[in-house]
A = this chain, B = another copy of it.
């Protein structure tokens, strides 16, 4: 795991630090990305990172911003509902490879050009849908949070730990659901399999469709 490349071993840069941070977060969870661990993996003193980042929060912000680099801001098509779905889809696609980092994006949406562009598009869609500024803003924020929620995955097992920990928790969850009394929790018993399947794809699709459908419903209520 330690830095072994002879080429470009010199010159610590913000980019290389963020690369490592992303790798560590993906492998062992966001709580594992630590100044000291990144330093040792980069073959450097912990304090070396403080030349490139003012603080650990700064480092995490930089890591979050990296996700936004991959976002392709969709063009407007005139169909506000489709546009809103496209913004959500773009955001979700960018966050999905790094679910551990996704929650940090909440604080970066108004602090980054891409984040601002996405927010602008979302608000524009909601504006043409007929929402006043206040509900439009609330909906835009909820959109952001929903997107994060979709990629963060199964709420029950937090999906942070990889490998065996993950499997064991999933087994525990299944055992728990199987042990429930069908009289007290009839529907839950029926849905035991579905609640543990962890199919991220359907989860994301349902999430985006749900949000757009919700906004559509609220927009329709405005006209009455």
Binding site for B on A (CB under 8 A): 106-107, 109-111, 116-117, 119-120, 123-124, 127, 133-142, 144-146, 148-150, 152, 154-158, 173, 176-177, 180, 184-188, 190-191, 193-195, 197, 199, 202-203, 206-207, 209-218, 221
Contact = CB atoms under 8 A, between A and B. Distances in A.
A195 B210 CA distance: 23
A194 B144 contact: no
22 contacts: A106-B158, A107-B156, A110-B177, A120-B185, A120-B187, A127-B190, A133-B190, A134-B197, A134-B202, A135-B202, A136-B194, A137-B197, A139-B206, A144-B155, A145-B146, A145-B152, A206-B218, A210-B214, A213-B214, A213-B216, A213-B217, A216-B217
Contacts of A148: 149
Contacts of A214: 209-215, 217
A203 B139 CA distance: 8
Given A109-B156, A213-B217, A146 B144 contact: no
A149 B156 contact: no
A215 B127 CA distance: 22
Contact of A138 (B134, B173, B207, B211): B207
A138 B202 contact: yes
Q: How many copies does the complex hold?
A: 2
Most chain-B Cβ atoms within 10 A of its Cβ — which of A144, A152, A180, A188? A188
Given A110-B176, A214-B213, A217-B216, A116 B185 contact: yes
A218 B207 CA distance: 11
Contacts of A135: 202, 206
Contact of A141 (B109, B136, B138, B154): B154
Most chain-B Cβ atoms within 10 A of its Cβ — which of A117, A177, A212, A218? A218
A138 B199 CA distance: 9
